[in-house]
Amino acid sequence: MKTVLYPLFTDEYFMNEALREAHKAFEKDEVPVGAVVVCQKRIIARAHNLTETLHDVTAHAEMQAFTAASDYLGGKYLNECTLYVTLEPCVMCAGAAFWTRIEKIIYGTADEKRGYTLIDRPLLHPKTTVESGVLQAQCKNLLKEFFALKRDK
């Protein structure tokens, strides 16, 4: 009998972990964005948006994840890492990603208002590759649900 090895650590698996972080933000009444940084198939940093809790606009999920990942690795470059984030990074986070030289960024859903791709100039490091649309519906729906609740208040 042939053993079928299912791929365990897929992009969907890691994006789902980022979504778990986004749910934590939601529970804290924060805009629900979550992120994980993965190195050699291991999650080395997890974070979710904490801008309201910390009164700090720099406390985006990605920024915290970069700081935590660098701290874990003991170096400031993340050139062998992938960032999974539920929402497209903003200009600040893209600028931070540039400095980290991160290998890859995978985001769930586009940020039509403040996404870095709205600036039609290269903001990321030239070696950074980007994918999008992984678990897009889940990432987007969580944000829609959050803002719908806000409007109803």
Q: Which helix (H) or strand (E) holds 119?
A: none
CB of 129 to its own copies, least distance (A): 19
User: Which of 16/70 has CB closer to its own copies?
Assistant: 70
User: Which of 7/74 has CB closer to its own copies?
Assistant: 74
User: Which of 85/135 has CB closer to its own copies?
Assistant: 85
Distances (CA, A) of 114 to 2, 83, 94: 49, 18, 11
Residues in touch with its own copies (CB under 8 A): 51-52, 54-58, 63, 66-67, 70-71, 73-77, 90-96, 98-100, 119-121, 123
User: Which of 70/109 has CB closer to its own copies?
Assistant: 70
Q: What is the DSSP code string of 54-94?
A: TT-TT--HHHHHHHHHHHHHTSS--TTEEEEEEE---HHHH
CB of 74 to its own copies, least distance (A): 6
CB of 79 to its own copies, least distance (A): 12
- Select which of 30, 62, 88, 103 is catalytic: 62
Name 66's Cβ contacts closer than 8 Å, sequence gap at least 6.
37, 45, 78, 83, 96, 97, 100, 102
Q: Indicate if 62 belongs to the active site.
A: yes
CB of 128 to its own copies, least distance (A): 13
Residue written as tokens 């090895």?
Answer: 5
Nearest alpha carbon to residue 124 among 98, 92, 96, 91: 98
Query: Checking phi first, is residue 29 left (phi over 0); if not, alpha (psi -120 to 50) or beta?
Result: left
Which residues are known catalytic residues?
62
